[in-house]
Amino acid sequence: MADKHRARVIYQSEALYVGTADATGHHFSTSTDWTTRANYKTHATHADAVAEGAPIRTGVQQLRRVQSANYSFSINRQDVNQFGQLARIDSVPVDPPTVTLDFSYYLTNGVNERLLGMDVGGQKSALADKIVDGFKCGEEVGDDGHNFFILTTCEGHDAVNNTDMDDSKNVIALGNGYISNYSIEAAVGGMPTANVTVDGLNLQSYNGTKDLNVPAINTNYGIPVDGVEFSIPPAISGVLNDSAGNLAAEAEGWSCLRPGDITMSFGTQGRASEFEKMPDDQPPYDYTPGAAHIQSFSIDVPLSRSVLNRLGSPYGYARVVDYPVNVNVSVSAIMSDLKEGNVADLIWDTEEHDLLFTLREPDPYGTGQKALEYRVKGALLEGESFSSSIGDNKTVDLTFTAQIGGPEDLARGIVISGSRNALTITGDFA
């Protein structure tokens, strides 16, 4: 009898993971907390960690509520021609392959943002440290990015709680990944969603999920990293329960955030807008008398990067963010009451505003505990666009921009506040 093969792959059999360790670094630790560097010892392989005799943690964590994951690669080749021959004699790659990963997920409590390297403590720029800075003062500038992994199980079998034989599973991995765009959007009639784009250096496929070489590239020599392994932890549901102490102990809880639990503030008396009344910073924000009725909003953070090259290395030795980084905010609303305003005054008015977007846990009255909060600091109004036609409500679209500041600048940038277990979760796996 012939071996059976998959006829197709659908979402039920896939799970997306991110490496929380450096792409070329050790992906096993003898500790329950990967971030407490004084209390753990990293190891290149699982066997080395087992020999240490302490609790083992893998530097690979599952992202929650993933809705899509698309990956691709392209190779830029240059033809080699010569006099005397019509056709090319070769076509060689002069640049390393371009590898991209795009994925989206429903917003929850900030745990995905934390696993992607963002700060969700609400006290400093969310994109400082690992994403924008990538280094601490005195350390070498630039890092090797992070690895991303897509697990695929047998056809017709859920990835969550899967007990199939390991050799029936596959992994697609992107090596040396850098986030190049992060955006969120929320609208009436749908769940708030995040979209992430990752640029990488390598794409590799594997049979099995245990003790595999990482997909990262040694950028100094342009060769795959050898002798550093990873393993994929079991996929879990990820229905977040903030009473859980770590990722492995998560239990059934609320499943997603909803538009009825989102509130917004545009500053005192909604002054960030010019003509229409908007929700201000006095609770309850979304019931301010006369305020326009928000239909949707989006926050987009493009993090374009430049590759720094040098002779003697096929890969760039660093991939750095192009500054300045602009945060773009768009808000669409059904118009209600107008307020006095004059566009000519904006020539002299350069007041910056803090825009606050709060997503709460599901609650009949929309007053549940805060699950996730975005604060765009130092935003300036770029424009307002009004639309009115027969049969439709009159609407207004507002656009704002802000810039990412340095770690010392607390007045500008984007700050994310996650809820309880997004701040404390450790993710222990045996």
CATH code, domain carrying 300 = 2.30.110
Other residues' Cβ atoms within 10 Å of the Cβ of residue 368: 16
Question: How many domains does one find in the chain?
Answer: 2
| Total residues belonging to the chain | 430
Q: Are residues 347 and 224 in the same domain?
A: no
* Domain membership flag for residue 245: yes
Mean of all residue pLDDT scores within the chain: 82
Evaluate whether 27 touches 48 at the Cβ level (below 8 Å). Answer: no
Q: State pLDDT tens for residues 308-335.
A: 888 888 888 878 888 888 999 999 998 8
Q: Are residues 266 and 179 in the same domain?
A: no
- Provide the strand spans (E) within 75-145: 77-80, 90-93, 98-106
Q: Which of the pair, 246 or 19, is modelled with greater confidence?
A: 19
Q: Are residues 241 and 283 in the same domain?
A: no
The predicted structure's pLDDT at residue 70:
96
The predicted structure's pLDDT at residue 401:
94
Q: Are residues 228 and 328 in the same domain?
A: no
* Domain membership flag for residue 427: no
* Domain membership flag for residue 330: yes
**Spatial separation of the C-alpha atoms in residues 311 and 334, rounded to whole Å:** 57
Q: Are residues 398 and 323 in the same domain?
A: yes
The predicted structure's pLDDT at residue 149:
96
Q: State pLDDT tens for residues 168-215.
A: 899 999 999 999 999 999 999 999 999 999 999 999 999 999 989 999
* Domain membership flag for residue 369: yes
Residue 425 in this model has a pLDDT that exceeds 70 = no
Which of helix, strand or coil describes residue 260?
helix
The predicted structure's pLDDT at residue 427:
47
* Domain membership flag for residue 87: no
Report the pLDDT averaged over residues 268-281. 81
Domain termination residue (choose one: 225, 254, 283): 254
Which of helix, strand or coil describes residue 385?
strand
Q: Which of the pair, 377 or 237, is modelled with greater confidence?
A: 377
- Residue 383 contacts by C-beta under 8 Å, 6 or more apart in sequence? 398, 399
Q: State pLDDT tens for residues 88-108.
A: 999 998 888 889 999 999 998
Which of helix, strand or coil describes residue 43?
strand
Q: State pLDDT tens for residues 33-87.
A: 555 444 456 777 777 777 776 667 788 889 989 999 999 999 989 999 999 999 9
Residue 1 in this model has a pLDDT that exceeds 60 = no
CA geometry: angle at 278 spanning 276 and 281, to 5°? 150
Structural domain including 413 reads 259-421
Residue 366 in this model has a pLDDT that exceeds 80 = no
* DSSP designation for 121: B
Q: Are residues 239 and 266 in the same domain?
A: no
Q: Are residues 279 and 366 in the same domain?
A: yes
Position 36, amino acid: T
* Domain membership flag for residue 331: yes
Domain termination residue (choose one: 206, 229, 254): 254
Q: Are residues 58 and 200 in the same domain?
A: yes
The predicted structure's pLDDT at residue 421:
64
Q: Could you tell me the two tokens for 238?
A: 């990820």
* Domain membership flag for residue 113: no
The predicted structure's pLDDT at residue 243:
46
The predicted structure's pLDDT at residue 135:
53
- Provide the edge-to-edge strand list for the sheet that holds 28-29: 42-43, 28-29, 57-58
Q: Are residues 352 and 408 in the same domain?
A: yes
Q: Are residues 205 and 232 in the same domain?
A: yes
Domain termination residue (choose one: 218, 236, 254): 254
| Residue reference for tokens 């660093």 | 318
Evaluate whether 112 touches 105 at the Cβ level (below 8 Å). Answer: yes
Evaluate whether 332 touches 294 at the Cβ level (below 8 Å). Answer: yes
* Domain membership flag for residue 84: no
Q: Are residues 58 and 205 in the same domain?
A: yes
The predicted structure's pLDDT at residue 428:
39
Residue 236 in this model has a pLDDT that exceeds 50 = yes
Listed ranges 27-31, 113-117, 334-338; the one with the highest mean pLDDT: 113-117
Q: Are residues 242 and 101 in the same domain?
A: yes
